[in-house]
Amino acid sequence: MKYSGLKGMEDILPPDIAVWQGIEAAARRVFDRYGYSEIRVPILESTDIFIRGIGEATDIVEKEMYTFTDKGNRSVSMRPEGTAPVVRCYVEKNLHTMSSPQKFFYSGPMFRYERPQKGRFRQFFQIGAEAFGVAAPAMDAEIIIMLQHLLEAIGLRDLNFEINSIGCAECRPSYRQALLDFFGAKLDEYCPDCRRRYETNPLRILDCKVSRCSELRQGAPVVIDFLCEDCKIHFGDVLSILSAFHVSHTLNPNLVRGLDYYTKTTFEVTSEHLGAQKAVAAGGRYDRLVREFGGPDTPAIGFAMGMERIVALLKEQGGIEQPAPLVYVATLGKAAETEGFKIVEQLRDHGLWAEQSYGSSSLKSQLRRADRIGARVALILGDNELQSGCLQWKDLKQGRQGEVALGNVVDFLKGHA
Ligand code: HAM
């Protein structure tokens, strides 16, 4: 019997795993500079938190959750995203009592039962950040600037920062009504999904990908025109801070996001090199969610980036260096093999990556292997070298070679590292 992995769920293997680890390490360095601490929340949560957090009428909750009844007869779901679980934790563990603002980051797998395609998986990994306790526009700007630094530190190029404000509980109803009036005039020409969205969440019609729907919505009311005074000032301040820091961005009035918890600022980072699934990262403000989860009135903002899409972009950009050992120890004969094993272990004790030949094969095939795994230096050790106490070394990248005394091997190779 042969088994295969589930559709839309990928194995992450070497050499790609090195790219993943590089991204994670770069993200950690940037989060450290901005004061974000890691938080780890469970993969499985009560289904209610996603219904309440993301919204009952969203695609994620309606169609995409891995939901099942556990042995205790509770409805549980594999997290489709990280914000709702982090907010659940924030409220349950009274994290608002920590000094403000509270800034957290997380990384891990998320699950959405979507139709798999390029850049879209059923298990995918996000690195996300959430900041609680600051309503000021400086926080929106800071988190967007941090995201830009993060993506730069990872090595991504040619990204577009799109930004919008979707208003608050005060201004949203008049905008919603304006949309209902506009879409209602030709409702029967929209796709079935949009006709349903008309009843549940008309804002979502704005980002429907069906071409007839995007034609029909030309000239639809624009949210910016409906913002209340507070939202307008807030958004204007965010944009002027971004401009002051030379963060180039595009206003996208159709950026309404597929999750209901957002208020005010929303943003998305896209790349033209990704095909249809072009969002690399996305986020926004969600000032009502902590309160809705039973916590104190707490403004919050965050984002998440999709690891698979970042890895795909980095691979497309090229220039990814695969990790390779510093040294390969090639040996000839039993006694040299034993000594070679010792040298390899000694090098590892000094923090150097060393590989060995594991038994008898010709020197030629050992050196071929050293080359294949990308080792920088080969050390060659046979009976003669054992007797003289001097090893031969060969720089496999530059073609230079020479001899080194057995007792100096570690220092010699440290000079190469
Ligand atoms: P989201 O837009 O649903 O937002 O997802 C964020 C990112 O995760 C996307 O931009 C994309 O890169 C990646 N992503 C989403 N779905 C898939 C998929 N099926 N396959 C591969 N990658 C995917 C959120 O999840 C919010 N929780 C972000 C947030 C944090 N807002 C505030 N705080």
Cβ 176 under 6 angstroms from ligand 1: no
Q: Calculate how far, in angstroms, residue 306's C-alpha sits from the geometric centre of ligand 1.
A: 6
pLDDT single digits (tens) 93-141: 999 999 999 999 999 999 999 999 999 999 999 999 999 999 999 999 9
**CB–CB of 314/274 below 8 Å?**
no
The residue contributing the CA closest to ligand 1 atom 13 is: 306
pLDDT at 87 over 90: yes
Ligand 1 pocket, 81 CB below 6 A?
Answer: yes
CA of 161 to the centre of ligand 1 (A): 15
- Rounded to an integer, the average pLDDT of 235-264 is 94
Mean of pLDDT values over 265-276: 93
What digits encode the pLDDT tens for the residues 365-379?
Answer: 999 999 999 999 999
The fold for domain 327-414 equals Rossmann fold (3.40.50)
pLDDT band at 352 (very low <50, low <70, confident <90, very high): very high
Tokens standing for 305?
Answer: 């980036």
pLDDT of 417 over the 80 cut: no
Nearest-CA residue for atom 15 of ligand 1: 306
Cβ of 140 below 6 Å from ligand 1: no
- Range of lowest pLDDT (127-131, 139-143, 174-178, 253-257): 253-257
Indicate whether 360 pLDDT > 80: no
pLDDT, tens digit (0-9, with 9 covering 90-100), for 298-319: 999 999 999 999 999 999 988 6
Q: Is 375 exposed, middle or buried (0-12, 13-18, 19+ CB in 10 A)?
A: buried
Ligand 1 and 89: CB distance under 6 A: no
Q: Which atom of ligand 1 is nearest to the CA of 60?
A: 3
**Residue 221 Cβ < 6 Å to ligand 1:** no
On average, the pLDDT of the chain sits at 95
Q: Cα dihedral sign for 138, 139, 143, 149?
A: positive
Cα gap 82→102, rounded to integer Å: 16
126, 259, 261, 303, best to mutate for ligand 1 pocket (most atoms within 8 Å of CB)? 126
Cis ω before 42 (30° cut-off from 0)? no
The residue whose CA is least distant from atom 2 of ligand 1 is 282
Q: What integer pLDDT is reported at residue 105 of this predicted model? A: 98
Cβ of 58 less than 6 Å from ligand 1 = no
188-238 pLDDT, tens digit each: 999 999 999 899 889 889 888 899 999 999 999 999 999 999 999 999 999
pLDDT of residue 318: 85
- Asked if 307 contacts 125 with a C-beta cutoff of 8 angstroms, the reply is yes
In the chain, where the domains are located: 16-171+227-317, 327-414
Q: Indicate whether 275 pLDDT > 90.
A: no
Cβ burial of 220 (10 Å; 0-12, 13-18, 19+) is middle
Whether residue 337 has its Cβ less than 6 Å from ligand 1: no
**Are residues 409 and 343 in contact, defined by beta-carbon separation less than 8 angstroms?**
yes
Looking at the predicted structure, is the pLDDT value of residue 175 above 80? Answer: yes
pLDDT band at 337 (very low <50, low <70, confident <90, very high): very high
The CATH code of domain 16-171+227-317 reads 3.30.930.10
From the CA of 126, how far away is ligand 1's center (Å)?
Answer: 7
- pLDDT, tens digit, for every residue of 12-22? 998 899 999 99
Q: Is the pLDDT of residue 166 over 80?
A: yes
Percent of the chain with pLDDT over 70: 100
Q: Residue 390 burial by CB count (10 A; 0-12/13-18/19+): exposed, middle or buried?
A: middle
Q: What six digits make up the tokens of 69? A: 């009844």
pTM of the model: 0.91
User: Could you tell me the distance, in angstroms and rounded to a whole number, from the CA of residue 157 to the centre of ligand 1?
Assistant: 20
Residue 276 pLDDT exceeds 80: yes
Pairing between β-strand 263-270 and β-strand 160-165 as defined by DSSP bridges: antiparallel
pLDDT confidence of residue 258: 84
What does the DSSP assignment read for 79-101? -S-SHHHHHHHHHHTTGGGSSSS
Q: Whose CA is nearest to atom 31 of ligand 1?
A: 283
Ligand 1 nearest atom to the CA of residue 84, by list position: 27
Report pLDDT for 281. Answer: 98
In this structure, which residue's CA is closest to atom 14 in ligand 1? 306
Give the pLDDT mean for 372-399: 95
CA–CA distances in Å: residue 7 to residues 115, 278, 337 = 9, 21, 46
173, 181 contact by CB (below 8 A): no
pLDDT of residue 10: 97
Gap from CA of 269 to ligand 1 centroid (Å): 11
What percent helix, strand, coil does the chain show, rounded to 5? 45, 20, 35
Q: Tell me the per-residue pLDDT of 46-74, one tens digit each, with 9 for 90 and over.
A: 999 999 999 998 899 999 999 999 999 99
